[in-house]
Chains A and B, each alone.
Chain A
């Protein structure tokens, strides 16, 4: 079905009137209403996004993709391979350094969004899912150190056990139990990070990228050009 402008129109209607009350039809209508395709995968962003500080969210996602891919290869091949073979050592190092870059980019993204007060404009849930992603990622990285299968992981586990036990989490998160830590590292925590990141991105798409603070009215007047009310960039910046 196409609209008059030639743009394809998304068909969200139920197959028949009697199907409109089904949960699948309701869910489809709600999903398309919240995330129309143009909003879910936009072609353009507002003018204020043309700054390097807005790049670090995407860089964090790129690093996360490399983390997951290299971790998947490590899971297929196993510890003997990643400790002894040259390719295994390379993929092991790639997993480590992509995690380093993941946190590097995520912290800069966090600083940028903090100083933008990115929770403005009904974006509290976006901020909170970002914070949770960071915290769960720290736990995922920690369980990764415990899953290396070397003296380093044994040292970290014995040093961490007292601190973890003091919090009470040791009852179900035993850092000396390698099998349990491996399962946390390759299943539970990556699943949690992945879910939080997906929700975070969907919320960014739903609410849009946070705009800069509106400048003072006096700042909008440039003496040599006169009033800038007609400047589309300024108009967008001043919008709530």
Chain B
């Protein structure tokens, strides 16, 4: 169990290091955490994909 926890914990830490203060972006009077900025960027990506990616058609549907 300890080995499994160490493996899983190590993997998570290698992707996102949560041991330390958060990282922030400063742009004039705007200050935002990198985590929130990533979420907003993801929302933009999903929004654009929702418009551009074709919706699946029913079998035999011709439109």
Contacts and interface: CB of A to CB of B under 8 A. Distances in A.
Contacts of A56: 50
Nearest to B42: A104
A23 interface: no
Given A50-B57, A51-B55, A53-B47, 20 more contacts: A47-B63, A50-B55, A52-B49, A52-B50, A52-B51, A52-B53, A53-B50, A53-B51, A55-B50, A56-B50, A104-B46, A107-B43, A108-B46, A108-B47, A108-B50, A111-B43, A111-B47, A112-B47, A112-B50, A233-B63
Contacts of B42: 104
A134 to B, nearest CB: 14
The interface residues of chain A, by DSSP majority, are classed as helix
The interface residues of chain B, by DSSP majority, are classed as helix
Nearest to B61: A50
Interface of B: 39, 42-43, 46-47, 49-51, 53, 55, 57, 63
A233 B57 CA distance: 14
17 contacts: A50-B55, A50-B57, A51-B50, A51-B51, A52-B51, A52-B55, A55-B50, A104-B43, A104-B46, A108-B43, A108-B46, A108-B50, A111-B43, A111-B47, A112-B47, A112-B50, A112-B51
Interface in A96-139: 100, 104, 107-108, 111-112
Contacts of A55: 50
Interface residues of A, number: 15
A145 to B, nearest CB: 14
B63 to A, nearest CB: 5
A162 B56 CA distance: 51
A108 B39 CA distance: 12
A56 B50 CA distance: 9
Contacts of B53: 52
A51 B43 CA distance: 17
Contacts of B43: 104, 107-108, 111
A51 B47 CA distance: 12
B16 to A, nearest CB: 15
B43 to A, nearest CB: 6
